[in-house]
Amino acid sequence: MQARRSPLAFFLLVLALAIPLWLAGPRLGVIGELRIPASDLALAFVPMVAALVLTTRSEGWRAAADLLRRAFDPTSLRGRWLAATLLLAPAIYLAVWLVMQAAGHGGVPARLGPVTLLLLFGLFLVLAAGEEVGWMGYAFDPLQRRWGAVGASLVLAVPWWVGHLPSMRAIGATASDMAWWVLGAAALRILIAWLYNNGGGTLFAAVLFHALLNLGRIATYPAMGSHYDSAWQATGYVVAGGLACAALLRSRPSTLTR
């Protein structure tokens, strides 16, 4: 049934759904000190909506429901790949923090209590599912069959990069930040594919890693500068790029599996 899935139709539907939200973004503003664009809360669900619409149309509502279930199934991820998924995002931010401290550019991280962090994690988990149900749950496997894991990751990195540009601009990102995000989008997509494939096609791995990335940035990046201090952003993307290269060297390029 998955052979009926069309990444092109998915990308076009995502674009059609996203354009009105991009246009409304400047009027909606940002959310408090966290500096999250309000439009992002809706945009995060655009890939999910597109995937569920197309899946229901071609495979039926049961297949769409199963796609949604996979995004929130923690039992599908076990053993060392559960550990890898849980630890990879914190490792990225720890490395960034250490580099920034060594460079004398540490800044002041946001002061968030455990309850706030837990609530934010729940929010980011839902938002990550809104994206990954589409990117990994619907589009990745057909792209991987045609282009291999790395090719599919790079294809997905393009709309993922473009889709974040309006909200990055809204919270003060510079042109340099947006350029560095090219590296970040490619590297993080490769790491997500690596976790997904090695976990046995586990969509929850992609969702969990994505959520932890967002939580880690809010918790560790300097509170000043709208969380877009260019040095922090660039360092984070370089670290992610290094880890992506390591994953490629230790994996089969066609599947990113060991």
Check residue 225 and give its pLDDT.
Answer: 41
Check residue 1 and give its pLDDT.
Answer: 55
Check residue 33 and give its pLDDT.
Answer: 62
Check residue 224 and give its pLDDT.
Answer: 46
pTM over 0.75: yes
Mean pLDDT split into 10-residue runs, the chain, 258 residues = 84 96 82 72 95 96 96 92 96 91 75 87 96 98 96 98 88 86 97 96 97 88 61 92 96 88
Phi, psi torsion values for 50, nearest 5 degrees: -60, -45
Check residue 32 and give its pLDDT.
Answer: 64
Check residue 152 and give its pLDDT.
Answer: 97
Check residue 127 and give its pLDDT.
Answer: 95
Check residue 3 and give its pLDDT.
Answer: 66
Check residue 11 and give its pLDDT.
Answer: 98
Check residue 228 and give its pLDDT.
Answer: 64
